[in-house]
Amino acid sequence: MSHLILVRHGQSEWNLENKFTGWVDVELTPNGKLEACKAGELIKDLNLNINYFYTSYQKRAIETLKLILNTCRIKNDNIMRAWELNERHYGALTGLNKIEMKEIYGEKKIHEFRRSWNVRPAPLSKNSPYHAERINTYSDIPKDKIPSTESLKDTFNRVIPYFNKNILPNLDNNILVAAHGNSIRALCKHLFNLDNLKITELEIPTGNPLLLSLDKEKKLKSAKYLDESRAKNLLVF
């Protein structure tokens, strides 16, 4: 049996400020760093030999992974970074306050923007300082791959091909992925075989490792959060 551990990054500065973040490259808060270290302790207690480490291009996920590995006393020189694991792009909502946007669009519409399968917000202007083409972190990504807005479906369509090509072949081993709420939701949709409606109910908490156990055929056998006090409904098992 092998294991895939999925961790959403710890609380970021824009999580704290309740802003739509997407591809903007923000830092962890002190609480987010603490969440990452607590995640590391939970993972350390599993006594697993973890062989591969994946994360996105975004510093909040990279720092979360490094803090986890430091807590576990694991060398971090084998981290694989992939822009395909980045957070979903929130388009013109990027940088805006979620509560204020509910007052403008209504709670139902904002929930649709945040949780639906195939609804995109309006695209973010390329003149915006928040546009990914203006962020140095993404300078080596082909411009035709940089989005101006995304739905969860769009996120799924970049996450899952990367997973199938780069992560799945290594799942005879134990693997740790530190990523984002929506890139992990995309992975869970695929691994849990959730339909387009059911996926709207799935939420991923920050800094709480999700342990997936797989059989020899790499089929999912079980899934659980390591911190049960902050667990969300996985809609399976």
* Strand pairing report for 50-55 and 174-179: parallel
Q: Using an 8 Å Cβ cutoff, are 235 and 223 in contact?
A: no
Q: What is d(CA 28, CA 14) in angstroms, rounded to the nearest whole number?
A: 9
User: Would you state the structure tokens that stand for residue 122, as one six-digit string?
Assistant: 């309006």
Catalytic residues: 9, 87
For the chain, how many residues are written? 237
Helix extents (H) in the chain: 13-16, 30-44, 59-71, 98-105, 107-115, 152-162, 181-192
